[in-house]
Amino acid sequence: MYFSGNPFWSKLAEIIYSHWLELGLDEIGSVGSFNYIVIRVHSRPTILVEQAFPDNAEDEEKLASEEFRQQMAQKIYEGIVEFVNYMRAD
């Protein structure tokens, strides 16, 4: 999980990552400040979610499953909802 160079968005990445771990995939950590063009410093939250890796046989099998892909999307959604609630609480 990567987030933009703005450390403010690290909380979004951490929250989504915590939901993502519920899927039983290997832990890869939450890393910030990568200079990927899609997540360069923005005024809006930007993260890049790497949910699974097709070069890993177990991940490849999971990625082939429509149900698993839907579960991944659901976990990202749950993380976004939690982040919005977190922001409203402050």
Q: What is the rounded CA–CA span in Å between residue 73 and residue 75?
A: 5
Q: What is the rounded CA–CA span in Å between residue 82 and residue 89?
A: 11
Q: What is the CA radius of gyration of the chain?
A: 14
- pTM of the full structure: 0.77
Q: 10 Å Cβ neighbour count for 42?
A: 12
pLDDT tens per residue, the chain (90 residues)?
A: 666 556 777 888 889 888 988 988 777 766 665 666 666 666 677 777 776 777 778 878 888 899 999 999 999 999 999 999 999 996
Three-state secondary structure call for residue 87? helix
